[in-house]
A and B are shown apart, each in its own frame.
Chain A
């Protein structure tokens, strides 16, 4: 009379839809929390989920209930010393029923909960889109990929599919041989009867011999049986991207500025890894000369010196030509600097960028991290402004405070509405 059912395998995460609705409803709060997290976090922790707090007031579900006041009686267990008529001061934190009415104790705690890494990133990158993605449409993709597309009757011997050929041959032999066999069987039966009755049976034997001959002549393999594996070439979208991180590490770039730049790169990297199957990173730092370094050195090693922006741009071009042909890679670059370029360097860099680098890259973002007072525009900024006007795959912004990183990032990569 008892049914025992194992439900462990089905229906897990039934509340997922409810959880998702909750998150959608409180998106504004959660967005705010995500913004704060980014401002506080170090780069290493950036990709984890995190705690989100929503004010309890905002998510309460109101009900008709009693407020404080009025007359109440309440029974409690565990009396030790009280006798009837004792007077007790009201417990602190409530008057007029505060201590005795269930549900009056007003909790002002925030409703806190964790976002998973996925949820965090989803909100993080919500509405962001890679710029100029149109160019990666299938039609333009230059790479082709061969994929299996069934079998064909003609092909090169190297593509011959033996099992499939054998199958076809067997089918053909059965299809052609079966009627002959049936007829033979019938003739044999007639032959037996004719022999028993002593009738003439030469014509029968003649027919039988003819049929057996035909059966024997059915070829084991025929030209029509041959089957070849077929492959067609389909255009493969380039799912690879390379991201160049260019950073000025000259003396004027202090720890604060570097930190801002690092955060921006982290965001960009996270973003790209979600969009592309494979993302290569190239770190180029420069003082008066540029060098390619690994990630650790890039972020944590200190070095100082003069500033020649052009050197980094030139190095980037060299690396592109050597390792990342435009036909196979989506090239992105982010440059961070305080913009302190000397003499002709700013102008030369801007020209080089416009003429040599921008045609290669999908998108080039320039982040300027100014001094904290930050009113003065740098020489590089002035030169780059012209480039921005001329080119639509170049963007520049100024970031003075960690909390501005995310808005700027969103701004740079916001979905094009056009």
Chain B
């Protein structure tokens, strides 16, 4: 087969030829993907897509405008390049290619997004459990239409306020353990209108005239509601808020559903990017070995590839923490190395797969882990040395920071554990749950913040969020910070 042409120019026919070649190579490795849909867009459209968190059909909101302006500024001034691609977890899997890219870049992006990310979306357990790839586009259309409909009926300002409040709590709108019921936009819409219809039919002005019987005093079960703490705050608001109108509940639900949709992406950043980077690297190299692409193509490709997987040291300029592309790519490549050329150290650390079939091992890892467990399981001492990782401990009781562990025999496990914990949700987000709803009393809502290792809430911002929660709830809301002994440490509240 002759080598494929490349250069700054591309055309549709050429993209199709590249895609065919990449698909053929991917098939050799047995990558399982959704069908691909590749869309060519301009840089401005890429900025648009950025602003709405990569969703092509998001509902309108000022915060997306803010993101758009910020990105646009940075891009126009050259502070920041644009991502070469955006890929959407849907079936078919939609990848956006920028028209400004060279042919080599388009090939890289196709391999990265349409085969790498795509197969990850299809097989990783979190995505399989938490998202419905075939329903998301329908749902987005429904959400956008519904919210715009509400704007027409209730005014833009009212809807905007409501969404502001929901956004403030969107990280607490996720079910982490229950598998959400499959959603279909049409079914949802049908159910919603059915609800509205029944309400309309049952309406009878007579009900108003019935004399009110005095309420029985609360039974013991009722007093402590909810029986178990609820970590999905938005869910609780949607179901139990005493003040929200039905359409407002639906909006809360939409924000919650979208938040749920993004949950797996946040949990698998390192793995997802690592997997996609590993595969574009592996696929294009295989194509080079088969003489489908030439040297110049490879040089341009490698230039972009190395830019993506650069990891700066903590003391270098431009250090923004650990680069998920670099770490993920290194770990995926390292697993392959451990399978193909294991050292004595590898055999000691990874007896279960050292020297095994790398395709199978990688596939297993991709399917069954998220960042936290993936790092805890697969980060090898060699990588800790290569990255020269070290852990710093910062205790508020100490005047100075302390180096907790480094890349030595004593430190490997500790560094690995610490790094894995870093990707835990609990580490990033304060642990806050709904504790009490005084359903038969003053209707106030109490959240409990479980103090973890003495880490306090950010004061001014917490007050802001409480104001938003209060707006959703309509009655007094408070958050109690509780230490590990169950003692209430401090309370912040907000009254309407």
Contacts and interface: CB of A to CB of B under 8 A. Distances in A.
Contacts of B360: none
Interface in A71-91: 71-80, 82-90
B387 A70 contact: no
A201 to B, nearest CB: 71
A63 B392 contact: no
Contacts of B411: 84
Given A77-B313, A87-B400, A87-B402, A19 B68 contact: yes
Contact of B40 (A2, A8, A112): A8
B52 A1 contact: no
B12 A4 contact: yes
A67 B430 CA distance: 10
Interface string B21-40: 00100000000000111111
Contacts of A60: 461, 464
B171 interface: yes
A390 interface: no
A99 B395 CA distance: 12
Interface string A305-318: 00000000000000
B488 to A, nearest CB: 17
Contacts of A389: none
A97 interface: yes
Contacts of A323: none
A69 B428 CA distance: 14
A71 B453 contact: yes
A109 B132 CA distance: 40
Contacts of B404: 73, 84
B402 A59 contact: no
B402 A86 contact: yes
Contacts of B344: none
Contact of B455 (A1, A14, A23, A70): A70
Nearest to B420: A75
B406 A6 contact: no
A20 interface: yes
Interface stretch (B55-63, B79-87, B175-183): B55-63
Contacts of B428: 102
Given A5-B39, A15-B51, A73 B400 contact: no
A18 B60 contact: yes
Contact of B418 (A1, A67, A73, A78): A73
B316 interface: yes
Contacts of B389: 75-77, 79
Given A13-B44, A19-B68, A111-B70, A71 B322 contact: no
Contacts of A97: 394, 396, 455
Contacts of A113: 69-70, 72-73
Given A18-B60, A62-B168, A67-B459, A75 B51 contact: no
B210 interface: no
Nearest to B168: A62
A86 B70 CA distance: 40
A90 B404 CA distance: 15
Contacts of B72: 113
Nearest to B38: A4
Nearest to A26: B62
Which of B35, B60, B65, B405 gathers most chain A CB within 10 Å?
A: B65
A72 B39 CA distance: 44
Interface in B441-496: 452-459, 461-462, 464-465, 468
A151 B92 CA distance: 56
A153 to B, nearest CB: 49
Interface residues of A, number: 63
B65 A76 contact: no
A15 B41 CA distance: 14
A67 B73 CA distance: 29
A207 interface: no
Given A18-B60, A18-B65, A66-B458, A77 B387 contact: yes
A87 to B, nearest CB: 4
Contacts of A1: 23, 35-36
B47 A6 contact: no
A24 B167 CA distance: 19
B403 interface: yes
A22 B61 CA distance: 8
B407 interface: yes
Given A1-B23, A2-B36, A4-B40, A87 B390 contact: no
B406 A84 contact: yes
B391 interface: yes
B48 A14 contact: yes
A214 interface: no
A74 B312 contact: no
Which of B406, B458, B459 gathers most chain A CB within 10 Å?
A: B458
B392 A100 contact: yes
Interface in B213-242: none
Contacts of B407: 79
Contacts of B421: 73
B19 interface: yes
Contact of B456 (A11, A69, A76, A83): A69
A12 B44 contact: yes
Nearest to B322: A77
A62 B468 contact: yes
Contacts of A68: 456
Which of A75, A97, A111 gathers most chain B CB within 10 Å?
A: A75
B12 A63 contact: no
Contact of B465 (A62, A89, A99): A62
Interface string A1-37: 1111111100111110111111111000000000000
B364 interface: no
A13 to B, nearest CB: 7
A64 interface: yes
A203 interface: no
A64 B430 contact: yes
A73 B52 CA distance: 33
A318 B170 CA distance: 70
A112 B316 CA distance: 27
B393 A65 contact: no
B458 A12 contact: no
A321 interface: no
A372 interface: no
Contact of B314 (A61, A78, A114): A78
Nearest to B393: A73
A22 B62 contact: yes
B69 A7 contact: no
A64 B69 contact: no
A62 B38 CA distance: 36
Contacts of A5: 37-40
Contacts of B390: 75-76, 79, 82
Interface in B385-428: 387-396, 399-408, 410-411, 415, 418-419, 421-422, 428
B35 A78 contact: no
B31 to A, nearest CB: 13
Contact of B171 (A63, A80, A90): A63
> Sorted from nearest, which 8 A-B pairs have the closest CB atoms?
A78-B313, A70-B455, A22-B65, A18-B65, A62-B464, A67-B458, A76-B314, A70-B454
Given A7-B41, A18-B61, A90-B401, 18 more contacts: A1-B23, A2-B23, A4-B19, A7-B39, A12-B42, A20-B65, A21-B160, A60-B464, A71-B396, A73-B404, A74-B422, A76-B321, A76-B322, A78-B316, A82-B406, A86-B402, A87-B403, A97-B455
6 contacts: A5-B37, A6-B39, A24-B62, A64-B457, A65-B461, A75-B390
